[in-house]
Amino acid sequence: MTTVDFAGKIALVTGAAGGIGAAVARTLAARGATVAAVDRDREALRSAGRRHQADGLPVRAFPADVSSSAEVAAAVTAIERDLGPIDLLVNASGVLRTGEVISYAEQDWHDTFAANVNGVFLVSRAVVAAMVRRGSGAVVTIASNAADTPRTGMAAYAASKAAVAMFTKSLGLEVARHGIRCNVVAPGSTGTPMLSQLWSAGQGPRTSIDGTPSEYRLGIPLGKIATPEDVAEATAFLLSDRAGHITLQTLTVDGGATLGV
């Protein structure tokens, strides 16, 4: 039986053109929410929107670059005007630029933090301000298990995800008295283009599952890579009333790769 946890709710999902963001948008819409899908990739967002709508899911596209304060403000205004007050927010947008620190390009550092950190701040500030006035809401930020576990070649990404995890929890502490819950989902290796870009020629899923000792990277005890839907299910739980007394927490979805630490 399909649950309708979010009947009548309006959800804003960033990074919704593909990967985890698209899976979250689909999961929430399938459970009754009307979803505002936000992404800066307009064509990919339109394509994802057509797939959702073909399946009868109430997902509307609102193209915007989350690193732009003006575009975020315009998108939030349009969403609340066209769909209604935003009840749920999922910060799922992000980029991954790999490289060792001593040779890392300054522009890659700035781009990583613009998308992964500034975007979470700008969207959360705009959306949660209205939630405070209404006295309810729920926020989930998609971080990473790399936020707590050092990774070679991923210092910028790991640092950005650590930043948004603590930002989200600090925000949650500030707005808890208004009945707003803020939590973090921390995926590990998930079957998206972001993961496959880490594999060198001749590598594939076994590289992530078995681990890479030379890079101090453990494998995945469950022996499989997560699907975007695995992460979407965890996100939906934290947004739902079933998690009504859970806030300031991180739910790690990595098949045991970080050994529960």
Please write the tens of the pLDDT for every residue from 156-201: 999 999 999 999 999 999 999 999 999 999 999 998 877 767 766 5
| Mean pLDDT across 229-243 | 98
Quick one: which of 136, 255, 123 has its CA closest to 186?
255
Kindly state the tokens that stand for 65: 């670059």
pTM of the entire structure?
0.94
Instruction: Give residue-wise pLDDT tens across range 98-132.
Output: 999 999 999 999 999 999 999 999 999 999 999 99
Domain ranges of the chain: 10-188+227-253, 191-225
Residues 119, 113: Cα–Cα separation, whole Å: 8
Q: Hey, which residues are catalytic here?
A: 157
Pick the CATH number of 10-188+227-253 from 1.10.10.10, 3.30.60.50, 3.10.180.10, 3.40.50.720: 3.40.50.720
pLDDT at 197: 74
Model confidence at 59: pLDDT above 70:
yes
Write down the pLDDT at residue 3. Answer: 72
Band (207; pLDDT cuts 50, 70, 90): confident
Compute the distance between CA of residue 215 and CA of residue 146 in angstroms, rounded to an integer: 13
Residue 214 reports pLDDT greater than 80: yes
If you average pLDDT over residues 205-210, what whole number do you get?
83
Q: Which two tokens stand for residue 161?
A: 């995800």
pLDDT of residue 1: 44
Task: Give the H/E segment covering residue 61.
Answer: strand 59-61
| Residues 89 and 11 sit within 8 Å (Cβ to Cβ) | yes
End-to-end CA distance of the chain: 35
Give the SS3 label for residue 214: helix
Going by pLDDT thresholds of 50, 70 and 90, the confidence category of residue 218 is: confident
Length of the chain: 261
Strands 180-187 and 137-142: parallel
Report, as an integer, the average pLDDT of 79-99: 96
3-state DSSP percent of the chain in helix, strand and coil, to 5: 50, 15, 35
Residue 248, class by beta-carbon neighbours within 10 Å (0-12 exposed, 13-18 middle, 19+ buried)? middle
Count of alpha carbons within 13 angstroms of residue 65, beta-carbon side: 7
Q: Would you state the pLDDT for residue 244? A: 97
Identify which of 96, 40, 41 has the alpha carbon closest to the alpha carbon of residue 72.
40
At residue 201, the pLDDT reads 53
- In percent, the amount of the chain with pLDDT more than 90 equals 85
CA distance 184 to 58: 25
pLDDT score, position 4: 72
Cα–Cα distance between 218 and 209 in angstroms, integer?
8
pLDDT of residue 199: 62
Number of CB atoms found within 10 A of residue 192's CB: 21
- pLDDT given at position 202: 57
Query: Is 2's pLDDT higher than 70?
Result: no
The pLDDT of residue 212 is 85
pLDDT at 258 > cutoff 60 = yes
